[in-house]
Amino acid sequence: MKQLLLSIFLILAYQSVYSQVEIYHESDPSTLLNGQEILVTGNPSDLQVKALLFLRNASSNFQEFKVRRERIFATSNEDFLCIGELCLENSNPALVSYQFPVPFQLDAGQSSQFEPGFFPDNQNICGVLKYYILDDKDTPVDSVQVKFLIGVENCNLNVAEQNVFDVNKVKLFPNPAKNSVTVDLGGDFQGHVVLQDALGKVVLDSKLFNRKTLDVSSLQNGLYFATIYHGSSKDAVFTKRLIVKK
């Protein structure tokens, strides 16, 4: 019974952490966009094309957040991100990942403008960018993906471009697991996975390449947390609850 109550408590605590932020569009505050992809269209002649989003602190406490941008795919154009009154222009289109240099702070229930976008400069653009919201420990707590179609109707990706790392393709199965669990990175990518028990103790740390099946037969029944890292990055890109049940 104690173990069951502890598992329930940890699940609720985990879910509360991962529901601290609400992401919504300016035109519809009642519909949450957390973990979703939204479409933004525009014309090459526009000075800028951006998504008009807001981030809301949904917790009951003051919170400090950070934002990391990952380029899933984008043509060579300059993108930007505005949070509140501060805007960051990325002058290096080839930069796959960057973190907004200044954390933003929100009181309980407070919202802040969140406006990712592109400067078209009279060029057609297809851009798929993902924005991770991080807590004060640099742990991702939520995300939103934005697809920009500027002067084009769709993105025609070649084979090389299709092999860009996409966290949405990361899989962990079966769940619940009995004797083994497979981690699939969704392509020819390297990384590693860290498995922790409900008390935070690391019970497994393994390198990954594309797909790997892990032996969990020695683990006791219960709740675990699998954190997956892409490449040599120290930032987690995927965290999921794993139940071991034999």
Has residue 244 got a pLDDT over 90? yes
Has residue 81 got a pLDDT over 90? yes
Has residue 8 got a pLDDT over 90? no
Over residues 139-198, the pLDDT tens digits come to 788 889 999 999 888 775 444 444 566 777 788 899 999 999 998 887 767 788 899 998
Which domains are assigned to the chain? 14-162 (2.60.40.10), 166-244 (2.60.40.3080)
> What pLDDT score does 49 carry?
95
CA 191 to each of CA 18, 94, 160, 236, 245: distance values in angstroms, whole numbers, following the listed order: 23, 21, 19, 10, 26
Burial class of residue 44 in the structure, from the number of CB atoms within 10 Å of its CB (0-12 exposed, 13-18 middle, 19+ buried): middle
Q: What share of the chain is helix, strand, coil (3-state, %, to 5)?
A: 10, 50, 40
Over residues 41-70, the pLDDT tens digits come to 999 999 999 999 999 998 888 989 899 888
